[in-house]
Every structure is written in structure tokens, then in C-alpha cells.
Structure 1
Amino acid sequence: MSHELLEPADALRIILQHCAPTPAQDRDSELALGCVLRQAVVSAAAVPPFDNSAMDGYALSGGPAPLAAGSEWLVEGEQAAGDAMQGRAQGAWEIMTGAAMPEGLDRVIPVEQTERLEAPHRVRLLAEVAPGQNVRLAGSDVAVGETVLAAGTVLAPQHLMLLASLGVARVSVAASPRVAALCTGRELVDDPATPLAPGQIRNSNGPFLAARMPHTGAELAHAETVGDDVDAFLDAVDRARAAGSHIIISTGAVSMGRYDFVPVALERLGAQVLFHKVAIRPGKPLLFARLPDGTLFFGLPGNPVAVAAGLRFFVEPTLRAMLGLPAERPWQVPLAAAFAKKPRLHFYLKAQLTVDERGQLAATALRGQESYRIRPLAEANAWVHIPLEAGELPAGTLVDVYGLGHLESPSWSRA
């Protein structure tokens, strides 16, 4: 393993060489929200399943020509939503929205364009009505044999609506990767109700990682906080592996300090450390290793924004590959204001994406880019990547913009 600072693209290449897609599993469609389809869905049914009325009104027929306003028609029956399809019909049929069209009738005039007459019961048309008007044909939304959802679709509520309309009870999806989060540091306090002793801080990384997992397509398999002790950490790793974790994320103890014990622990585990340190800010000491059983290990620095950036730009692309999704493509958005840095590292910036009155998007690097500052992260709606070689960037320079998560497009607010 080289100790040179890696380019982020090279680090990702190494990571992706060591991960494989999770297996496919069948899941009830109604429980598949957020899952990634492994197999395309082909419709075995038509939607709508029968010709039906788009309006409350009267169903009629009359050949290829429109029926004239002023004509009168005997009302021969009525058809409500849920009624069985009627045999050959004639005259006018009172019909409700969604009701099956009686056989032989081919148009519907809305009730507000009619006048109801009695003795005998009939209806006068107040407007002409053409063939096919206000009729929803069988299969006009989805035809039998049509591919309605492609493999790789991330299932959203509208997809579950479509599956329900087709009567698809189960779908083949990628099994969710299982992730463990181990936060290290004897200074960390998990219980928010516990008063802090001198030198202690609250554990913000653990809740963040646990909350992010459902938004990444992963499951949190195990989470705990351990002190600065190799043996305790190794026991925690054992518990994480026993929980079936595909990935273990640790926070803290990966830099060069006296208490940065994670590299020592990995050596005792027999892990293969594939890189340690990437040319990025925040998160330069990021470590990636592979345990003997194939479990992937990400050692993230302990500062909160370094954890957020490491998760977003290194762990989440790994999850994306395991779910069978293609690599992300960032948006390119102009900077709202000039930005300057030394051309030594890639920067991942907490950012605000805004839209002005002309509909023009712009990206602003927020104040407080230090890796300990959480508040600007809470105010961010996007990430901005500034490449290593960039120095002075004037306003209007196009930069890569990413959503807060790999399954979330960037959002924006009004300028």
C-alpha cells in the first residue's frame, strides 16, 4: 500500500474493484419503496382493464359522425362504477366516472351538457358529442406485454401506484447492503440527557450515519460507540460482522495521533489496507480496507463533516455499485460568487443551490467550511466539488454539484 495521497477517482476505482452487487430477492411490492429493481416489470394486464367513462354523464352511440346538439335520446339504463359490463346496448345510458362502457356505446357527454326530460325518461344534448369523446380505452395507459419499469429503477411511490394498478404483488429487487457504524472516542457521550463532563462531547456521527442509511438504499445492521481501545474495537468489529454487515464504517482514530489505533486494529484482524489518505478536504486521512472474510471497511476521520463527506463521496458510490446502479453524473452549475483555494486538494463544499427570478441556478459555498462545523451542513441543500488543480474561481465558473445523497437530486431555494 502506498502512503501517497490518492486522487479521489483512483480511490473510488480501488473501492469498486473490491465490491460486488448484492443478490436479487423477491419482495412484496407494497414494501419495496426505495428498493432497486433487479428485473424489469412487464405488464401481464391492461390498464385500464376495460373501456370506461371519464365523466359522469350519458353514454351514447351514433356511428362515425358527432351527435348533434338538440337531439333527444331515450334513457335505456344506467351504469355505475363497479357494475358488470352490460350486453349490447342502445339509446342513452346514464353512466358514472370509471364505469364500464356498455357494449355498443362509444362516447360520453358530460351531465352538465345535457337536459333531463321526463315522460318518457329521456335526455336532450346541449352540445355535440363525437365518437370516443370522454371514453378511456382499455390498455390506453398500459398495454399487455409492455415493459413498464426497467431494471435499475429506484422504486418511488408513483412506481408502487403503477405496480398496484397492474396487480403485481412481488418484484425482484437488489438486496439492501448491510452497514455497521462504529464511532470511536472515549470523549463521546451517546445519551443526550447525560450532562457533559470536562473534555466530553456529544456523539453526532452515530445518529447521522444511522439516519442516512435508509436514504442510501442500505440497512443499518449494527451501531455502537467504543473507546480508544484496540481490544474493545476488535470486539465491536466481531459484533458488526456477526450482524451480517457487508460494510463497516468507523469514525475517528485514523490519523497520526497517539490514540489513532484503527490501523493497528486492522493489522491484528489480518485486513488488507488498500489505501490510507486521499487528496481531499475534508477527510484526508480516509482509510479503506478489506477484511479476510470480504467485509469492506471504511475508516473515516472523526470530525462530523469529514464523516459526512466520506460517506457521501466514497461509501455511497460503493452502495450504489452494490445495488447495481450506474455511476452518478453531477449537475454543472455556475458559482454565485468567486471562490479561492490553494491547488493542493480536492474540496467538497457544503453549498446552497439557489434559483433567481429568471430561473437561473447558482451554487454558493457556505461560510464555515471547517470540518467541525455542523450548522452549515444543516443549512446546505447540495455539495459542490472543487477539483485539486483549481485555485481562483471567478463567479460564473461551472462546478460539479451533487445532491445530499446519491439517491437524492440537488434541491434549491429562492435566491
Structure 2
Amino acid sequence: VSITVSSNHQNSLNLRLQLTLIIVVAIIYVYQWINADDERLRRKRFGKKMDLLEIRILELRSNGVVIDQAASLLMTAKQQGYRNLDYGEELIASAEEEIERTLSFSDDVDEIRADTEKFLKEAEEIAIEIKKPGNLFKAGLREIEFGSLREGEMLFRESKKKSQEIIMWWEKAQDAIVLAKNMLGERETLDLNQLSEILSEAKKLLQSEEPKKAYAMASTIPLQLESTDLAMAKAIEKLEQAQKAMKSTEGLNTEDLFNRLEKAEKAMHSGNQALVSGISDGIIREIESERAAMDDVLRALKQKKHLIQKWKDRDDKSEWDVKLEQIELAAEDLSWTHALKLLSDLTKELDGQSQIKTEVIELLEYLKEQWKILRNQCEASNMDMTDSRFVEIDGTMSEINDKLEAGMYEKCFLQLSHVDKAMESLRREV
């Protein structure tokens, strides 16, 4: 009986276990069935989104809108989206955003293109020959066709910028070049090579479709010509002053001055106002300098007796005569500035000699007074007045007077020094 009861109990447990297992399996199956149904719905919705997006892309492309990036994202979504719905839906969203961004940017580019085209037409009406703005515009259109909206926009903006420059500056540059050309033509006799080169460069800039730079360069020419005219007027005034000064050159050496004046006149005809002014100023200064030197030298030569008087009794009289003769020769050659220089050197040297003579006389007079006192002291001391030193001092004093008259001042100083030493020797014996 006990064995039977135990067997029944075991069977009951097995039955319960089987029922539990069946229930668990059923629950799992139901969950998987429900979840699988949700995935099917997501895939279905994902597929519809892709279909709608693909249709939209085809429509946009048929209207000429380039959306390669969005199409590429859609292709990736098709290939990988069903295996990973989250990633696929993310790609679809990115593609839609790219389409919206492209459409928005495309609208902006269309506005820029229309605006650029308006300026381009106006610029081409002003200057038919221009190429750069049109080429930039065409390049922008090509970039748009290839889907490079940003590059296209940049090219449109550059084209507009060039067109605006043409509109604003082309006619101004042309007028400035014509004005500069006419002003230079009125001055054909002048040497204006530098300004002609500037005009040529301005023309090249205009041909290169750089009207603003061309205008800036050409417009400087009238200003420089005005400055040149003013400088030339001053140079002509200087030249006239030089010509007038040349009429008052009597007694001057004018050969070189006339050569320089002729050179200044040629420089005036060639438009070299700086050279005209420089030469004319030099002529005027030299005439004034030479005339002043001539007056000083002639005045001194009229009084040459007074000059000769200063050295006529000197031992080196011949040397001073030679110096005076050199001054006279320079005056005969009309080299007045040189003659004045020699005269100035002569007078300075004479003044120096006169100063030395004064010093010798002062020292001689002083020693004479001292000798007179010392001689009396020696007599009072009963010294032998026949001493050779007394005779020597008296004789030297007399020689100094003679040499002083002869202008031998250096020897005078030596003998005065000798007298002073001899007197000092006598003082020690008094």
C-alpha cells in the first residue's frame, strides 16, 4: 500500500512540472509573437518612409535639385536599415534634414544668382569687353549643376563683386586715363617718362579689369603734373634771376658761368626743373660770391702800400712780396675767390706777426726797466762796471732793437731770454 501511495505522489509531481513547463513555453511563445509583430510594424513603417523619401528625391532631381548626399544616406539606409532599424531610422532622418538644408540653401543661392546676374548685365552694358565677371558667373553655374552649392555661391559673390567694381569705377578710370593722357600730351616737350610709365600701367590695369586700381593710379598724374608745373615755374623764375645776374658780371670770369647757364636752359626745355633750379642757384651764388670777393680784393690792392709798409723793413721781405704777387696774379686771372683766400691768409699771418711784435716790445721794455734798476743797484754795490756781462747785456739790448725792426721776432725772444738769465746772475751778486 505504501509503495502505491508513493508512486502516485511522484506521478503528481511530474504532472505539475510538465504543466509549469508548458505554461512557461506558452508565455515565451506569446511574447515572441507579440514582439515579432511590433518589429514587423516598424519595418513596415521604415519601408514606407524610405519609399516616400525616394519618391521625393526623384521629384527633386527631376526639378534640377542636386541632393546627392541625401540619396547616399537613403542608399545606406536601404542596405543596412532592416538589420538595424534604429540606425536605419537615423539615416532616414539625416537624409530628410539634408534635403531641407539643401532646399533652403538652394533658395538662397537662387537669390544670389539672380542678384549677381542683374549686376553682371549692368556691368557688361558699361564695358562690353569685360570677361572676368561673366566667367565667374558661368563657373558658378557649373558648380551648381555638379551639386557644389557652396562653391557656386562663392563664385556668384565674386562675380557680383567684380561687376560692382566695374559699375562703380570703370568710367571713372577711363575718364582719369583720358585726362592724364591729354595733360601729358600738352607737355610733350618735357621729360615726363616716369609719369608716362604710370599712365601705361594704369591702362594695363584697366585692361586687366582692375578699374579701381587703374583710377587710383591715373588720378595721381594730374596732381603730380600740377606739382611739376609749380616746380617748373619756380625753376623758370630761378633761371631768369640767373640770366639777370649774368648781365652784371663785369670783371668776373664768365666762361664757365655761361656754359652752366646754357645747360640750365636746355634742362628747362626738357622739363628737368630740379636741374634748372640747381644750376641757376649755383650760378647766382657764385656770381654773388665772386663779386664780393672781387670787391674785397680790389679794395685791398688799392691799399697795398699799407700792406707793404708792414714788411718792407723785414729780412724776409721778399717772401711777403711773393705772397702779394700771387694775390695780384689771381686777380688778373679773375679768380677772385682764390685771390680772396690768399689775401685772407696774408692778413691773418700779418696779424699774427703783429701780435708777436707787440709781445716782444712789451717784454723788451720790461727788461729795459729792470736793467736800469739792476744797473743802479750794481753801481751802489761798487761792482766792477767794466764786467763783460754789463757790456754783453747792453749790446744784446741794442741788437734786439735792430732785429725787432727787421721782423726777426723769434731771434728777439731768444736774445731776451739770454738777457734775462744774465740779469738774474747779476742779481745774485748784488
Q: Quickly name the TM-score band, shorter chain normalised.
A: under 0.3
TM-score (ref. length: structure 2): 0.15
Larger % of helix: which?
2
Higher relative contact order (CA 8 A, sep 6+): 1
Q: Larger Rg: 1 or 2?
A: 2
